[in-house]
Amino acid sequence: MNFIASIRVTLKESVLDPQGSAVVHALHSLSFTSVSDVRIGKYMEVSFHADDEQTARAQVLRMCDQLLTNPVIETYSFTLAEVRE
Amino acid sequence: MNFIASIRVTLKESVLDPQGSAVVHALHSLSFTSVSDVRIGKYMEVSFHADDEQTARAQVLRMCDQLLTNPVIETYSFTLAEVRE
């Protein structure tokens, strides 16, 4: 079975986000003054093969823990979609 | 009303993604050999105020078009959630 994992990686709440703060100021300068906060993270779409959905979920967890995220400062969530031929 | 927009920005299909290719090789070296493709993009959570949902949607579209995305090489999608006090 073919799958696509859509992974959202964000900084933990306790971690300062200077990039996000810069975007808030830029949005304010473009008159989007109602914006109170921006958090910037990574978005990844991983296409891969697995025997079944449970195996696929386990693989995504391992990929995130081993390479795609930094557990010290980041958290992540993902959705999994099967890709039919 | 308070809202959070969760915005996913990805490179257009026609645009080369060297970062994604590098991640594919890294995953293969960690024995995730079933991975066929990785696309890397930006994920942003924008907290803001708007009078109603329709106005909120229009604001997100304008923020994306004016600052948060590069329409030449990127596409985006977003979900909108109301934040209750």
Q: Say which CATH number the domain at A64 has.
A: 3.30.1280.10
pLDDT digit string, tens, across residues A27-43 = 999 999 999 999 999 99
| Residue contact B10–A49, C-beta within 8 A | no
pLDDT at A6 over 80: yes
Helix ranges, A1-85 (H): 18-29, 53-63
pLDDT digit string, tens, across residues B22-73 = 999 999 999 999 999 999 999 999 999 999 999 999 999 999 999 999 999 9
| Domain housing B59 | 2-83
CA–CA dist A65, A62 (Å, integer): 5
| Residue contact A43–B8, C-beta within 8 A | yes
What interface predicted TM-score (ipTM) does this complex get?
A: 0.89
Percent of chain A with pLDDT over 90: 96
| Residue contact B44–A23, C-beta within 8 A | yes
pLDDT at A63 over 90: yes
Number of domains present in the structure of chain B: 1
Q: According to the model, what pLDDT value does residue A24 have?
A: 97
Residues in B touching A8 (Cβ below 8 Å): 6, 8, 43
Q: Is B5 on the interface with A (CB under 8 A)?
A: no
Q: Is A37 on the interface with B (CB under 8 A)?
A: yes
User: Which candidate from B23, B35, B43 shows the least CB-CB separation from A43?
Assistant: B43
SS3 B62: helix
pLDDT at B85 over 80: no
